[in-house]
Amino acid sequence: MVTERTPTLITPGVIAAELSEPLHRILHVLRTRQHIMPVARAGRLRLYSKAAVAMVRHELNAIDAKNRGKGGQCHE
């Protein structure tokens, strides 16, 4: 008997909660980083994979590092 696992897909709101970041930062990264693509849609809702969460985390860390280097305030 073959059983299929249902993939876990993640909304931008869940990504924000998982990374403890404001939703607007997550939406900005998703909107401006063309390489982070939704894997599915449910109506108007975009759904992402766990790999996308890691990419968003990486992008946020890069943004924060760049802002620290400029002497700007870092989001924490």
- pLDDT tens profile 4-38: 787 778 999 999 999 999 999 999 999 999 999 99
- Model confidence, pTM: 0.80
User: Is the pLDDT confidence value at 76 over 60?
Assistant: no
Domain boundaries, the chain: 12-68
User: Is the pLDDT confidence value at 73 over 80?
Assistant: no
Query: In whole angstroms, what is the distance from residue 5 CA to residue 2 CA?
Result: 10
Question: What's the token pair of residue 59?
Answer: 């992008």
The arithmetic mean of pLDDT across residues 47-63, rounded, is 96
Residue 2: strand, helix, or coil? coil
